[in-house]
Amino acid sequence: QVQLEESGPGLVKPSETLSLTCTVSGASITSSFWSWIRQPPGKGLEWIGFIDNTGNAKYNPSLKNRVTISVDTSTNQFSLNLTSVTAADTAVYYCARKPTVSRNWFDPWGQGTQVTVSS
Amino acid sequence: QSALTQPRSVSGPPGQSVTISCTGSSSDVGGYNYVSWYQHHPDKAPKLLIYDVNKRPSGVPNRFSGSKSGNTASLTISGLQAEDEAEYYCCSFTGSSSFRVLFGGGTQLTVL
Protein backbone atom coordinates (compact mmCIF):
# COMPACT_ATOMS: atom_id res chain seq x y z
CA GLN A 1 0.00 0.00 0.00
CA VAL A 2 1.56 3.25 -1.16
CA GLN A 3 1.57 6.06 1.41
CA LEU A 4 2.78 9.63 1.10
CA GLU A 5 3.59 12.12 3.86
CA GLU A 6 4.44 15.79 3.44
CA SER A 7 6.88 17.59 5.72
CA GLY A 8 8.41 21.04 5.96
CA PRO A 9 8.12 24.44 7.62
CA GLY A 10 4.63 25.68 8.34
CA LEU A 11 5.66 29.33 8.16
CA VAL A 12 7.71 31.03 5.44
CA LYS A 13 8.57 34.72 5.15
CA PRO A 14 7.62 36.72 2.05
CA SER A 15 10.25 36.68 -0.71
CA GLU A 16 11.86 33.53 0.72
CA THR A 17 11.78 29.98 -0.66
CA LEU A 18 9.17 27.44 0.36
CA SER A 19 10.66 23.95 0.60
CA LEU A 20 8.64 20.79 1.21
CA THR A 21 9.45 17.11 1.12
CA CYS A 22 7.20 14.14 0.43
CA THR A 23 8.25 10.77 1.80
CA VAL A 24 7.00 7.77 -0.18
CA SER A 25 6.51 4.39 1.46
CA GLY A 26 5.24 1.16 -0.05
CA ALA A 27 6.67 1.85 -3.52
CA SER A 28 9.92 2.80 -5.16
CA ILE A 29 10.07 6.41 -6.17
CA THR A 30 11.44 5.28 -9.54
CA SER A 31 8.21 3.42 -10.31
CA SER A 32 5.83 6.34 -10.85
CA PHE A 33 5.38 10.05 -11.41
CA TRP A 34 5.15 12.33 -8.36
CA SER A 35 3.10 15.49 -8.00
CA TRP A 36 2.49 18.56 -5.90
CA ILE A 37 -0.95 20.11 -5.62
CA ARG A 38 -2.09 22.96 -3.36
CA GLN A 39 -5.30 24.46 -2.01
CA PRO A 40 -5.31 28.13 -0.99
CA PRO A 41 -7.78 29.01 1.77
CA GLY A 42 -11.33 29.15 0.49
CA LYS A 43 -10.32 28.11 -3.01
CA GLY A 44 -10.11 24.99 -5.13
CA LEU A 45 -7.19 22.74 -5.86
CA GLU A 46 -4.30 23.95 -8.02
CA TRP A 47 -1.83 21.65 -9.76
CA ILE A 48 1.77 22.75 -9.19
CA GLY A 49 3.65 20.16 -11.19
CA PHE A 50 4.99 16.63 -11.34
CA ILE A 51 8.22 14.84 -11.99
CA ASP A 52 8.53 11.58 -13.90
CA ASN A 53 10.68 8.58 -13.24
CA THR A 54 13.47 9.90 -15.46
CA GLY A 55 13.71 13.20 -13.60
CA ASN A 56 11.80 15.26 -16.16
CA ALA A 57 9.32 17.70 -14.67
CA LYS A 58 6.20 19.47 -15.93
CA TYR A 59 4.96 22.57 -14.20
CA ASN A 60 1.86 24.73 -14.08
CA PRO A 61 2.63 27.58 -16.49
CA SER A 62 1.46 30.10 -13.90
CA LEU A 63 4.17 28.95 -11.48
CA LYS A 64 6.81 27.71 -13.88
CA ASN A 65 9.35 30.46 -13.24
CA ARG A 66 9.35 29.88 -9.47
CA VAL A 67 8.94 26.14 -8.99
CA THR A 68 11.31 23.19 -8.98
CA ILE A 69 10.39 19.58 -8.21
CA SER A 70 13.16 17.07 -7.65
CA VAL A 71 13.55 13.44 -6.64
CA ASP A 72 16.00 11.81 -4.23
CA THR A 73 16.12 8.10 -4.98
CA SER A 74 18.41 7.38 -2.04
CA THR A 75 15.76 8.47 0.46
CA ASN A 76 12.65 7.65 -1.60
CA GLN A 77 11.55 11.26 -1.33
CA PHE A 78 10.66 14.05 -3.68
CA SER A 79 10.70 17.76 -2.99
CA LEU A 80 9.12 21.06 -3.91
CA ASN A 81 10.92 24.40 -3.98
CA LEU A 82 8.89 27.54 -4.62
CA THR A 83 10.87 30.77 -4.71
CA SER A 84 9.92 34.39 -4.02
CA VAL A 85 6.78 33.48 -2.11
CA THR A 86 3.99 35.91 -1.30
CA ALA A 87 0.83 35.68 0.76
CA ALA A 88 -0.86 34.21 -2.34
CA ASP A 89 1.24 31.08 -1.85
CA THR A 90 -0.39 30.40 1.51
CA ALA A 91 -2.12 27.05 1.08
CA VAL A 92 -2.38 23.44 2.11
CA TYR A 93 0.19 21.60 0.01
CA TYR A 94 -0.44 17.99 -1.02
CA CYS A 95 1.84 15.45 -2.60
CA ALA A 96 0.32 12.73 -4.75
CA ARG A 97 1.27 9.94 -7.15
CA LYS A 98 0.46 9.97 -10.84
CA PRO A 99 0.86 6.27 -11.57
CA THR A 100 2.44 6.29 -15.07
CA VAL A 101 2.77 8.42 -18.18
CA SER A 102 -0.56 7.20 -19.57
CA ARG A 103 -2.48 7.05 -16.28
CA ASN A 104 -3.71 10.59 -15.83
CA TRP A 105 -4.98 10.71 -12.28
CA PHE A 106 -3.63 11.18 -8.77
CA ASP A 107 -3.67 8.29 -6.32
CA PRO A 108 -2.87 8.20 -3.48
CA TRP A 109 -2.48 11.61 -1.86
CA GLY A 110 -0.81 12.70 1.32
CA GLN A 111 -2.84 14.34 4.07
CA GLY A 112 -1.43 17.73 3.23
CA THR A 113 0.63 20.28 5.11
CA GLN A 114 -0.36 23.87 5.85
CA VAL A 115 2.10 26.52 4.74
CA THR A 116 1.56 30.15 5.70
CA VAL A 117 3.51 32.98 4.12
CA SER A 118 3.83 35.79 6.62
CA SER A 119 6.48 37.99 8.16
CA GLN B 1 -11.74 31.41 -10.26
CA SER B 2 -10.98 27.76 -10.97
CA ALA B 3 -10.36 26.45 -14.46
CA LEU B 4 -13.21 23.92 -14.30
CA THR B 5 -16.63 25.01 -13.08
CA GLN B 6 -18.47 23.04 -10.41
CA PRO B 7 -21.54 23.99 -8.37
CA ARG B 8 -20.55 25.25 -4.93
CA SER B 9 -22.91 22.90 -3.15
CA VAL B 10 -25.41 20.10 -3.64
CA SER B 11 -27.54 18.25 -1.14
CA GLY B 12 -29.90 15.35 -0.81
CA PRO B 13 -31.47 13.05 1.78
CA PRO B 14 -30.09 9.60 2.56
CA GLY B 15 -30.95 7.08 -0.12
CA GLN B 16 -31.42 9.62 -2.89
CA SER B 17 -29.08 10.42 -5.79
CA VAL B 18 -27.18 13.59 -6.58
CA THR B 19 -25.18 14.64 -9.60
CA ILE B 20 -22.25 17.04 -9.57
CA SER B 21 -21.29 18.70 -12.83
CA CYS B 22 -17.87 19.83 -13.99
CA THR B 23 -17.73 22.14 -16.99
CA GLY B 24 -14.59 22.88 -18.94
CA SER B 25 -13.85 23.42 -22.61
CA SER B 26 -13.04 21.50 -25.75
CA SER B 27 -9.36 21.91 -24.82
CA ASP B 28 -9.67 19.91 -21.63
CA VAL B 29 -12.82 18.04 -20.48
CA GLY B 30 -14.32 17.86 -23.95
CA GLY B 31 -11.13 16.97 -25.74
CA TYR B 32 -9.77 14.11 -23.68
CA ASN B 33 -11.07 11.22 -21.57
CA TYR B 34 -8.77 12.20 -18.72
CA VAL B 35 -11.39 13.29 -16.19
CA SER B 36 -11.03 12.14 -12.60
CA TRP B 37 -13.00 12.81 -9.44
CA TYR B 38 -11.83 13.07 -5.83
CA GLN B 39 -13.60 12.96 -2.48
CA HIS B 40 -12.14 15.07 0.30
CA HIS B 41 -13.14 14.86 3.93
CA PRO B 42 -11.71 17.61 6.19
CA ASP B 43 -8.20 16.94 7.44
CA LYS B 44 -7.92 13.77 5.41
CA ALA B 45 -6.13 12.91 2.20
CA PRO B 46 -8.23 13.39 -0.94
CA LYS B 47 -9.40 10.06 -2.33
CA LEU B 48 -9.66 9.00 -5.97
CA LEU B 49 -13.23 8.01 -6.86
CA ILE B 50 -13.32 7.97 -10.66
CA TYR B 51 -10.65 8.05 -13.36
CA ASP B 52 -10.76 8.18 -17.17
CA VAL B 53 -14.28 9.68 -16.98
CA ASN B 54 -16.12 6.57 -15.77
CA LYS B 55 -13.75 3.99 -14.27
CA ARG B 56 -13.79 3.13 -10.58
CA PRO B 57 -10.68 2.04 -8.66
CA SER B 58 -11.04 -1.15 -6.70
CA GLY B 59 -12.67 -0.50 -3.35
CA VAL B 60 -14.82 2.41 -4.51
CA PRO B 61 -18.52 1.50 -4.21
CA ASN B 62 -20.52 1.28 -7.42
CA ARG B 63 -22.80 3.98 -5.97
CA PHE B 64 -20.26 6.36 -7.49
CA SER B 65 -20.36 6.72 -11.26
CA GLY B 66 -18.95 9.13 -13.81
CA SER B 67 -19.93 10.28 -17.27
CA LYS B 68 -19.23 12.98 -19.81
CA SER B 69 -21.18 14.84 -22.44
CA GLY B 70 -19.40 17.44 -24.54
CA ASN B 71 -17.44 19.78 -22.30
CA THR B 72 -19.22 18.71 -19.11
CA ALA B 73 -18.34 15.75 -16.92
CA SER B 74 -20.61 14.50 -14.16
CA LEU B 75 -20.28 12.52 -10.95
CA THR B 76 -23.42 10.75 -9.76
CA ILE B 77 -23.71 9.42 -6.23
CA SER B 78 -26.67 7.13 -5.74
CA GLY B 79 -28.06 5.79 -2.48
CA LEU B 80 -26.63 8.71 -0.50
CA GLN B 81 -25.10 7.82 2.85
CA ALA B 82 -24.08 10.08 5.71
CA GLU B 83 -20.40 9.34 5.12
CA ASP B 84 -20.69 10.72 1.58
CA GLU B 85 -20.85 14.23 3.05
CA ALA B 86 -17.59 15.75 1.80
CA GLU B 87 -16.07 18.09 -0.78
CA TYR B 88 -15.81 16.70 -4.33
CA TYR B 89 -13.35 17.85 -6.98
CA CYS B 90 -13.10 17.12 -10.67
CA CYS B 91 -9.82 17.13 -12.55
CA SER B 92 -8.90 17.12 -16.22
CA PHE B 93 -5.59 16.53 -17.93
CA THR B 94 -5.01 17.98 -21.37
CA GLY B 95 -2.95 16.66 -24.25
CA SER B 96 0.79 16.83 -24.53
CA SER B 97 0.95 19.75 -26.99
CA SER B 98 -0.16 22.32 -24.39
CA PHE B 99 -0.04 20.25 -21.26
CA ARG B 100 -2.08 21.32 -18.25
CA VAL B 101 -3.79 19.77 -15.27
CA LEU B 102 -6.95 21.57 -14.22
CA PHE B 103 -9.12 21.19 -11.14
CA GLY B 104 -12.61 22.36 -10.39
CA GLY B 105 -13.39 24.66 -7.50
CA GLY B 106 -14.98 21.88 -5.49
CA THR B 107 -18.56 21.00 -4.55
CA GLN B 108 -19.70 20.56 -0.96
CA LEU B 109 -22.14 17.66 -0.66
CA THR B 110 -24.52 17.82 2.28
CA VAL B 111 -26.52 14.75 3.21
CA LEU B 112 -29.68 16.13 4.75
> Is A107 in contact with B48 (Cβ distance < 8 A)?
yes
Counting one residue from chain A and one from chain B, the pairs whose CB atoms sit within 8 A come to 62
Residue-wise DSSP of A55-101? S-EEE-TTTTTTEEEEEETTTTEEEEEE-S--GGG-EEEEEEEE-BT
Q: Chain B contacts of A105, Cβ < 8 Å?
A: 34, 36, 48, 51-52, 91
- Work out the pLDDT band at B100, boundaries 50, 70, 90: confident
Mean of the per-residue pLDDT values of chain B: 94
Q: Which one of A45, A104, A111 has the shortest CB-CB distance to B45?
A: A111
Q: Which of A97-101, A104-108, B84-88, B94-98 has the lowest mean pLDDT?
A: B94-98
Query: How far is the C-alpha of A79 from the C-alpha of A89, rounded, in Å?
Result: 16
Q: Which amino acid is at A119?
A: S
Q: State the smallest CA–CA distance between residue B106 and chain A in angstroms.
A: 6
> Is B103 in contact with A104 (Cβ distance < 8 A)?
no
Residue B81 predicted with pLDDT over 80: yes
Compute, in degrees rounded to 10, the torsion defined by CA atoms B38, A88, A35, B110: -10
Q: What percent of chain B has pLDDT over 90?
A: 88
Q: Which one of A44, A103, A110 has the shortest CB-CB distance to B106?
A: A44
User: pLDDT tens digits, residue range B10-61?
Assistant: 999 999 999 999 999 998 999 999 999 999 999 899 999 999 999 999 999 9
Contact yes or no for A48/A110 (Cβ under 8 A): no
Q: B83 in contact with A at a CB cutoff of 8 Å?
A: no
DSSP B15: T
Q: Residue A86 to residues A11, A14, A17, A39: CA-CA distances in angstroms?
A: 12, 5, 10, 15
H-helix or E-strand spanning residue B75 = strand B72-77
pLDDT beneath 50: ranges in chain A? none
- Mutation pick from A5, A25, A45 vs chain B, by most beta carbons of B within 10 Å, is A45
> Is B100 in contact with A44 (Cβ distance < 8 A)?
no
Looking at residue B95, what is its pLDDT?
Answer: 73
